[in-house]
Structure 1
Amino acid sequence: MTQIQFGIDRLLSEPELRRPLAGRRIALLAHPASVTADLTHSLDALAACPDLKLTAAFGPQHGIKGDKQDNMVESPDFVDPQHGMPIFSLYGEVRRPTDAMMATFDVLLVDLQDLGCRIYTFITTLRYVLEAAAKHGKSVWVLDRPNPAGRPVEGLTLRDGWESFVGAGPMPMRHGLTMGELGRWFIDLLKLDVDYRVIEMLGWQPDAAPGYGWPLGERTWINPSPNAPNLWMARAYAGTVMLEGATLSEGRGTTRPLEIFGAPDINAKAIIAKMQALAPHWLKGCKLREIWFEPTFHKHAGKLNHGVQIHCEGPYYDHTAFQPWRIQALAFKAIRRLHPDYPLWRDFGYEYEFDRLAIDLINGSPLLREWVDDTQATPDDLDRITHADEAAWLAERAPYLIYR
């Protein structure tokens, strides 16, 4: 088996890949998971290359250091004390790079570990820097990394008019593409005239056990954001991220964020039973377990929560059968059936949107929420619209696949 090489490792080890960068000013868009095979941060590794001229760096949501916890917690610009270069925040005063920021480089290297989910804002930042590069005549190179959720596709496609910072374009929740592949799709979608290149991975096998997207046993998992602590979270995230738009805790303030959910006033055992009664075929590929937890911060902090853990690891995981988006949708449906008046949807400012419900922004339309709240709607009803979206996306994304 060929040992996997990420884009950053190939750029560093293959001088011919770097030759087009000679004499050009380079910037890096990175976060804490932007590391080489030996866990050196990409900023340090690139700065140490004598044939590269690194002049600036950018950080996405949570910051280049990954220290900012959550929704609308911004990062400032600063000067890196070791390398003496400006570090610009793309989740602070601005979310799109300014003209002044764009003037600091000729080529932007994008080295971001994604989670394979539309709502994860790093892909929106990728779109924004591609648009800025087209405007300013700059080059963008994506140093590609795995999609840890692999190739499966799931969820409703974002509808027209529902673009947001958590909805960069008309794709389903689980898109199944790498960042390099997404960049190619964005360029065609937006009809951008931009110099774009992908430094491809070598040896990535998205359907290979045991990682099914992530090279488990070959590469160390580094949190790309504070609440993305492991591969299991990445697998569940396309469903559990919907909890950000709900009053239930998603486990922030615990050691297993976005693998669990609960609240002080629900009966987890009854919810699991109702889920199994409503759509047992949606629950394949994992194991649901009744749990208790007490968050130390965030929703329901300091209170005992009754909840559910989604086990999508070890003997319970079936990569082709697992449907995290449907599992979480079914949990909402079970709660609504058991407690018709339960205040399920959270109304708050979400990713700089104050007029639309977070659950609708997350899903790219009100369709999921309306299905949950419709007492007559069944799992088959949701499948009817979702299957059409999923089939259309599988066809649309096919030309952009680099790794087959």
Structure 2
Amino acid sequence: MRMNIVGFLIKVFLFLLFSTVLVAGKITLAADRPEIYLPLLDGKHVALVVNQSSLVGKKHLVDYLLKHGIKVKKIFAPEHGFRGNADAGAHVKNSRDRKTGLPIISLYGKHKKPTKNDLKGIDMIVFDIQDVGVRFYTYLSTLHYVMEAAAEQYIPVMVLDRPNPNGHYVDGPVLQRKYRSFVGLDPVPVVYGMTIGEYARMLNGEGWLKHGVKTDLRVIPLAGYTYRSRYSLPVKPSPNLPNDRAVMLYPSLAFFEGTAISAGRGTGKPFQLYGAPKYMRKKFSFVPQSRPGAKYPKYKGKRCYGVDLSRIDMQKYRSRGKLYLGYLRDAYRHYADKKHFFPNGGKFFDRLAGTDRLRHQIISGVPEADIRKSWEKDLVEFRKIRERYLLYP
């Protein structure tokens, strides 16, 4: 009898394991479910918020909708531009799409929120951009402002949902209102564990848009997706996240953007290594150079010493299910000029962290376990909020 029970449990375990793999292999993106969204767009004047990740199979959403008779009138481009090749932080200019002749309005140039004039004559906005599940990845802020502008002009918004490659965990300090900026507008942790569609539902439901306005929102859901699913991005979500490893490490390494440490922009391994000329351990080095998407990288042409993470065990790292502060603490400990580790008084670092507390903890040498304890109360409260808007198990 005992052997039968053990055998049964083994079969159950294998079934669950196999079914998880199957689920991961059967994910259908919202963009690949045109039978749901095409009828909703028929006859409407449509504006699209899209970039290079906005694909229906191998065809860009713009081309796909035009082919099916949808009246696309405008394209809104986020950070990195419509084709996704502009540097991080570089202003993107208004232009026209060479292929279709459609006007491209930048939401990362003179203004980040669509104006009343931008939305004149538009009946529906479709948002379809691949996110990576990290608060300071600015496509979230673009979504926030697009929904806000749409609500003010009584224009419905449709979000075509996409998987979150960092959706399996929630971690990091929750943003304090004092530190709101375009790299963090909403009171969420660094890693929030939601798809872009779920996040849009939360923006509406929690009243986080200006004056508490509500968007007429429709989320086209994924099929076959769960938070056990692993999803490898078929297209780079931005120029300096070239592969799954960079996407996975990004939540932990992007803090270096607010320090004297390079996170590898201008190398062949962005967000897969870190270092600086004044990093004191000399076992590994790299020299950033001008590259597409990183025209003026930190320490361009200078020898940097640091740590190569391009061969870490991805499965083991993913299984941690949390941010890793060891890189940040190591870099501070081995940086020769600690007074200037956080440039400009740490202002940009604090915006990334959503608080000044993390910076002070790093300077004071607070153990990682204690830093984590300081987040826990806010994380418990956020998880309660998050739960109300989840669409997937």
Which bin holds the TM-score, normalised by the shorter protein?
0.7 to 0.9
Distance 1:75 1:384, change over 3 A: same
Q: CA deviation at 1:324?
A: 3.3
Partner amino acid for 1:304? R
Task: Report how far residue 41 of structure 1 moved.
Answer: 1.3
Q: Is the counterpart of residue 113 in structure 1 residue 130 in structure 2?
A: yes
Q: Distance in 1 between matches of 2:260 and 2:312?
A: 26
How far 1:309 moved relative to its partner?
2.5
Q: By how many angstroms is 1:292 displaced?
A: 2.0
The offset of 1:333, in angstroms, is 4.7
Return the letter of the residue paired with 1:117: V
What is the CA distance between 1:17 and its match in structure 2? 3.2
Partner residue in 2 for 1:346:
343
Equivalent position SS for 1:27: strand
Kindly tell me: are residues 153 and 100 of structure 1, through their superposed partners in 2, closer, same or farther at Cα, counting changes over 3 Å? same
- Give yes or no for contact 2:252–2:325 (8 Å, CA) kept in 1: yes
CA contact (8 A) 1:181 1:400 kept: yes
1:31-46 mapped onto 2 (5 Å cutoff): 31-37=51-57, 39-46=58-65
Is residue 2:17 matched to residue 1:4? no
**For this pair of structures, how many residues does the alignment match?**
360
Q: Quote the residue 2:351 is aligned against.
A: 361
The aligned runs of 1:190-269 (5 Å cut-off) are: 190=208, 191-208=212-229, 212=230, 214=231, 216=232, 221-268=234-281
Further displaced range: 195-204 or 311-320: 311-320
Residue 139 of structure 2 is matched in structure 1 by 122
Is 1:317–2:292 an aligned residue pair? Answer: no
CA distance in 1, matches of 2:156, 2:244: 32
Gaps of 5+ in 2: 1-21, 291-296
In 2, Cα distance between equivalents of 1:313 and 1:379: 20
TM, length-normalised to structure 2 = 0.86
Equivalent in 108, 121, 124 of residue 91 of structure 1: 108
Instruction: State whether residues 273 and 310 of structure 2, in contact with CA within 8 Å, keep that contact through their aligned partners in structure 1.
Output: no
Displacement of 1:154 = 1.1
**Which one has the largest radius of gyration?**
2
Question: 1:356 and 1:97, CA in 2 relative to 1: closer, same or farther beyond 3 A?
Answer: farther
Cα distance change of structure 1 residues 206 and 124 upon mapping to structure 2, 3 Å threshold: same
What are the equivalent positions in structure 2 for 1:73-92 lying under 5 Å apart? 73-92=90-109
**Change in CA separation of 1:263 and 1:340 when aligned onto 2, cut-off 3 Å:** closer
Hey, which bits of structure 1, 4+ residues long, moved more than 6 A? none
2:308 match: secondary structure: strand
Give the match for residue 18 of structure 1.
Answer: 38
Task: Write the letter of the residue equivalent to 1:233.
Answer: A
1:319 match: secondary structure:
helix
Match of 1:284 in 2: none
What SS does structure 1 have at the residue aligned with 2:284? strand
2:196 and 2:384 map into 1 onto residues whose CA distance is 18
Cα contact 1:27–1:109 (8 A) shared by 2: yes
* SS, match of residue 75 in structure 2: strand
Give the structure 2 partner of residue 178 of structure 1. 195
1:69 counterpart letter in structure 2: D
Partner of 2:289: 296
Q: Is the 8 A contact 2:133 2:167 kept in 1?
A: yes
> Deviations 1:252-303 (Å, cap 9, x if unpaired)?
000111121001222347xxxxxxxxxxxxxxxxxxxx63211114112222
Task: Name the SS for the 2:325 alignment partner.
Answer: helix
Hey, what's the Cα distance between the residues in 1 that align with 2:85 and 2:369? Answer: 42
1-structure distance, mates of 2:312, 2:162: 21
Give, as a single letter, the amino acid of the residue that structure 2 aligns with 1:20: L
Q: Secondary structure at the match of 1:114?
A: coil
C-alpha RMSD of matched pairs (Å): 2.0
Quickly say closer, same or farther: Cα 1:10–1:225, change in 2 above 3 A: same
What do residues 176-223 of structure 1 show as CA deviations (whole Å, max 9, x unaligned)? 111100001111222332210111111123313xxx3x1x3xxx5211
For the residue of structure 2 that corresponds to 1:173, the secondary structure is strand
Amino acid of the residue matched to residue 285 of structure 2?
Answer: W
Task: State the distance in 2 between where 1:176 and 1:399 align.
Answer: 13
TM-score (norm 1): 0.84
Aligned residue among 66, 71, 85 for 1:67: 85
- Aligned partner of residue 157 in structure 2, secondary structure: strand
Contact 1:167 1:361 in 2 (8 A): yes
Query: Compared with structure 1, are the counterparts of its residues 121 and 372 closer, same or farther at alpha carbon in structure 2 (3 Å cutoff)?
Result: same
User: In the TM superposition, what is the alpha-carbon distance from 1:26 to its structure 2 partner?
Assistant: 0.8
SS in 2 for 1:29: strand
